[in-house]
Structure 1
């Protein structure tokens, strides 16, 4: 569903590391858990799998003393060793080291929260150093079980599939520092500083960097070209006069559109803009559609226009219905036998997710996929709809939506929704 995100292919699952530093092929049948953005856990299915693999990756430089490779050697991760020897080699770029052995007791350091450790177990450990990237992989058997050659061969095969990006992207904190330096060099007369979890403040305006970062990690060599237009737009808006910042309603009425936005961000970074709660952790906001961008409708505009929030909603929905009538949705359909099992929009659009606010699309989707269907909204420009008649496909789509949500531009939600005769609700298994 996303060119940059992990997906399921003929050889299994392609897992993508944070900031798209590298990819890894995982075979079908493994249970995969991404409990943190930098942590991957994989194991065979079952309540008590025979073995489990944990992969941790991080950016290291002179400022990250606590994350040096020596912090992950066997004596640190696996205290009270019974024995340790050289482990199987892997064929990946960079400096690699490996060990295998067994240990008797759980670790006492905070690393035990990253690498789950059991009493008297067999293990294998790989440390990979490639440019600024550190990759640490631990494979452990269930207590009392041997580390068989079959387990080692499968893990070595997975690690040999590891492919690093041609150019490595900076982690978020260093990216923000680069953007901060760029902004200060480009606009030296402005007061520019870090703001919030991942933003910058330019005088009295705040710009969030999440979507810029998602674009950047796909093409790290173009940081300046990706970020500078957005910074320039913020600066230009500060130069606008009252007529531009507070235009009369009659001048912009036909350009007001609804837009879905993650509730976690809308209630924090966009609290001063008009919004309503929806479902699935989403909010409905309202934007003025400009030629090449859009800006959110501020609460102060309601007073200037002398309308209520409900009145603004009706105007936006009227415009959305007009847009839908003038721009029919083209979809790609997946058939299973004689029944349609899944469909997705052919072309990305800033208004694709907003179409789901309008009942006409609900009726059409139910005609094609059945009385009840599941919808995934990983980002603003895309959705996927699946028939309730295909529960296995719903499970696969759920995993893919969660991955795309973490990698696509303008992310919305990793939760699935249900469309039925009663409207839209959150999907519950």
Structure 2
């Protein structure tokens, strides 16, 4: 290399010294443990209440736990209870959930009790939403407020990053998802120093949150579907078609979302919108069966135990009903996230493809279906890839998913998202 060429070559990005990163370890560890414990506490309380609502009460009354009558009663009652919380709680249990994604600015602490109560009631009662958005928002608010008071020398924005990473790690039982999501968020920002330096503290928090969850509850995301076997050209075609079809189906729900949300908004009061939404969800549950209720992870595992146990028509019904239930639950005001139910929808769609064309391997159908659905619903490329891959532990699956993500991403990028602005229009 000539002297002029060497002078024009870009200088390497300097790495942060260890002494700049060491002070971040303890805050990251504390936030990681605390975020996981809050998530586990809310989930445990919701599971106990769910046991009472869906086992204890119907058994004592002599009613079928998943009878049409009981579904209508519990879902409508859940809408009434959550409506009361949203109506009367300070700050109305936080902002409209349709306007919030995974990342959110810190809320006032006064809003958090109502948000957590509404989330626990929702998880127990059966609406098709997950805990991720409200739990992340709660952990971010707590970490931001307490962190600034206890360690004022650290940057204020750091606490939100630690809490978000820790909660994602706790939710998925691994820090990899958090690292991928944060890397994607940092891609559009000017960075001083190396990327790994910026990931050091959030990755520590995510690893701590994931480890705490694993030690306490031992979550398992691998569905243990039949292995894929040697790679073939037909696998590539199946992955491309299934992921793209799932993405198109998800985009149909995304386009319907502002209209359904607008219809519930015009009711003008949570005590109208939420009970009516609960009633609609009860009717959908009666149509699709009890597997289309709740956040969806346990129900996905039940489907995966016996991929041959349902017909193509039944899988198609569950897919459409769960997708409609997700749109209704997210539109009428229930506090919850959209990732976990989207996993169920994508899984049911992939098993529909297998039932329709038996040559489609269940593992490939499920992972490609989840990939396409999550890309449409979340617009988080790395998170979609990771979640789809972790459901089926196979290096071959990961390579196929990377290929399948390309046309699926072209179908969703630049189009409306399943998140609304304050005026009710879709975020792009």
Normalised by the length of structure 2, the TM-score is 0.24
Normalised by the length of structure 1, the TM-score is 0.24
Structure showing the higher helix proportion among its residues: 2
Larger Rg: 1
Structure showing the higher strand proportion among its residues: 1
